Amino acid sequence: MLTEINYQNLNIEEKINAALAETAWDCLVVFGWDNVQYLSGAQIPFIPYRHDERVAVCWSKNSEPVYICPKDIESSVAFFSRIGKIESYVNGGYCSNNYMDAVARAIGDAKTVAIDMKRVSHVCYEKLMDRKPDIRVEAADEWLENQRMNKTEGEQQLLSDIAYTADHSINGFCHHIMKNGIRSMESHAAALRVHAMERNVNNIGYSCTAQITGHELGRYYWPVQERLGANYGYSPDEKLHGDDLVRASVKVTFEGYWADASRPYTYDQMEPWMEKYYGQWFNLRNYMLGIIRSGISCKEVYEKTAAYAAEKGIKLADNYMLGHSIGVSIFEHPFIDGVETTDIQDGMIFVLTPIVIAENGQHVQSYETILMKEGKPVVVNWWKDWREPYIGIAVV
């Protein structure tokens, strides 16, 4: 059961101070909401969506970190943030002068400043340089990605627990499904989300949502229903069928960290095509767990798995990654795709997301969350044994 008591100290502050001490930087300034959340611990869900109401954190070697935010959320930030010093500004629109003045003040006399260049907007960057023409700027992105991908023990525990809870949520929801009481995808998605809420996840909006899909619509990542349009935050209201292989997906968050879960269920014993393609998924899953070891690169895992799939006649979803890390954002580096050359190491957490395409075009998937421990992957989100989908109750 998730409870805040278990996760009081993720040791982020100690880690960042130690890592910063080893750099030549005087301070680190982050503009990306995810980096701000990582450093502060404050999850304010609407910050990414209110693009004119920007936040930042300035973390100096020799002084207290500062959280910069619009005045209207100051008290909310103060409540949730580990960073005690907050400087607020009156919002005036995108990259407002007030915002950049606050950032410049927080930087103070620092000479060498590291910035998350993948996140800071061009306008904010230029305004900062106008205010601080003499600072030397370095890119902090790789350093930040490195800090974030190598989880502290507290983060490992928290992420493992959330992943387990998400899987438990799916199981808890599946307990209610019955072949002689099939409802719509939308209604099931709401029920799945409720079962996550019952397990103490944080109930927020936006991408913290559930998706249920099957038959024709199971061919899509984000199924669009003709009648209702692209209601991507919910599921279509089409009725499921007794012979569906249903995809039950849910993203949940707790204490600012995420789980990305997806499992299939059926209403009765599996049909032959389900056995075939779920079997292919399980085969791939076992293969990936067999090759993932500390020291192997993400790209190598991807290439080997893709080659194995081709050899076995398993059709994988085109151009889609085979896995991603997770933390204060749902998708984080490193990604298991054909490009990422980062080596997998102990302390990293991944969600393995191979999607097998069945002959009817449906996506067959079942996400495994793994924690790298003592050189090997440990699956942390098996609430039940997933060698088969959840087989529902045929009739009551």
Partner 1 sequence: MESELVNKINQGLKKYKLDGLIISGWDNITYLTGAMLPFAPDYPTRKAVLVYSPSECRLFAPVDWIEFVEQQKWQGHMTVLNESCSAEELGAKLSDALKGSALAAGRLGIDCAKTSQEVYLQIGKLLPDAELISADDLMRELRIVKTASEIKKLERAARYSELGIVATLNHTEGTIDAVSFGRSEAAERMRVHIAEFGGAATGNFVGLQHDDMTRIYGLNHDSLDEGLIRYDITSEFEGYWNSAGRTVYICKATPEAKKAYRDNLTIKAYALSLLKPGARCCDIFRKVSVKASELGIAAVSELGFGYGVGCSEREYPYLTSEDDTELAENMVIALDVFTYGPAKELIHSIDTYRITKDGTEKLSWYRDYDRLYEIVGITARHG
| Nearest-angstrom CA–CA distance, 218 and 52 | 37
Pick one of 18, 224, 291, 310: the residue that binds partner 1 (CB under 8 A): 224
**Nearest CA to 370 among 344, 350, 348?**
350
| Nearest-angstrom CA–CA distance, 100 and 89 | 9
Binding mask 2-41 for partner 1 (x = CB under 8 A): ------------------------------xxx-------
Q: Is residue 75 involved in binding partner 1 (CB under 8 A)?
A: yes
For residues 80, 81, 87 and 91, what is the CA-based torsion angle, rounded to 10 degrees? Answer: -50
Maximal CA-CA distance, the chain: 74
Q: Is residue 53 involved in binding partner 1 (CB under 8 A)?
A: yes
Q: Is residue 86 involved in binding partner 1 (CB under 8 A)?
A: no
Q: Is residue 51 involved in binding partner 1 (CB under 8 A)?
A: yes
Q: Is residue 221 involved in binding partner 1 (CB under 8 A)?
A: yes
Q: How many CA atoms lie within 13 A of 213 on its CB side?
A: 25
| Nearest-angstrom CA–CA distance, 199 and 53 | 32
| Nearest-angstrom CA–CA distance, 174 and 215 | 18
Stretch that binds partner 1, among 7-15, 60-68, 206-214, 369-377 (CB under 8 A): 206-214
CB of 271 to partner 1, least distance (A): 26
Stretch that binds partner 1, among 57-65, 153-161, 167-175, 227-235 (CB under 8 A): 227-235
Per CB under 8 A, contacts with partner 1 among 266-305 are none
Per CB under 8 A, contacts with partner 1 among 163-192 are 186, 190
Q: Is 215 exposed, middle or buried (0-12, 13-18, 19+ CB in 10 A)?
A: middle
Pick one of 64, 79, 291, 375: the residue that binds partner 1 (CB under 8 A): 79
Q: Is residue 197 involved in binding partner 1 (CB under 8 A)?
A: yes
Q: Is residue 141 involved in binding partner 1 (CB under 8 A)?
A: yes
Enclosing H/E stretch for 390: strand 390-391
Per CB under 8 A, contacts with partner 1 among 117-136 are 117-126
User: Are the C-beta atoms of residues 368 and 285 closer than 8 Å to each other?
Assistant: yes
Q: Are strands 332-336 and 323-325 parallel, antiparallel or unpaired?
A: antiparallel
Enclosing H/E stretch for 266: strand 257-266
Q: Is residue 94 involved in binding partner 1 (CB under 8 A)?
A: yes
Pick one of 21, 339, 395, 396: the residue that binds partner 1 (CB under 8 A): 339
Pick one of 16, 19, 45, 303: the residue that binds partner 1 (CB under 8 A): 45
**Nearest CA to 280 among 175, 380, 362?**
362
Main-chain phi, psi angles of 2, to 5 degrees: -70, 130
Per CB under 8 A, contacts with partner 1 among 230-249 are 230-234
Q: Which amino acid is at 210?
A: A
Pick one of 1, 22, 24, 229: the residue that binds partner 1 (CB under 8 A): 229
Q: Is residue 1 involved in binding partner 1 (CB under 8 A)?
A: no
Q: Is residue 107 involved in binding partner 1 (CB under 8 A)?
A: no
